[in-house]
Amino acid sequence: MIIDQNKLLDELANLDGWTIEGNTITKIIPMHNWKGVMMLANAIAHLAEHAWHHPDLHLTYSSIKVTLSSHDLGGVTNRDLALAKKINDLINWNPKDDSEELEGTPSRPEFRYLKKND
């Protein structure tokens, strides 16, 4: 079932960086370089294939634009929101928060790939 505009706005308030574009939701993810773009695009592809719900991905040298919509129903549904949340969880995961053994990506510029508060 397609989510009405008011409920969709409420849901997106809890999903950092997602906006409404027509009958889709989108997120632009800034990256440091092409290597990071490809790594994240493949990770998103893995989530999408596993969920059997596939976003449109627009890749540039330094960003990924993810667009979600349930094309069979002509708009945004709960499955789009569920996949958006999984994508956010993937992007925002910090190994340092979960484990003493995993130190996370070094902060030196040559190792960065996601552009966020890293």
Say if residues 40 and 86 touch (Cβ distance below 8 Å).
no
- Percent of the chain whose pLDDT exceeds 70: 98
This prediction's pTM: 0.90
Domains in the chain, CATH or no CATH each: 5-92+106-111 (3.30.1360.20)
User: Exposed (0-12), middle (13-18) or buried (19+): which is 5, by Cβ within 10 Å?
Assistant: exposed
Residues 40-88: tens digit of each pLDDT:
999 999 999 999 999 999 999 999 999 999 999 999 999 999 999 999 9
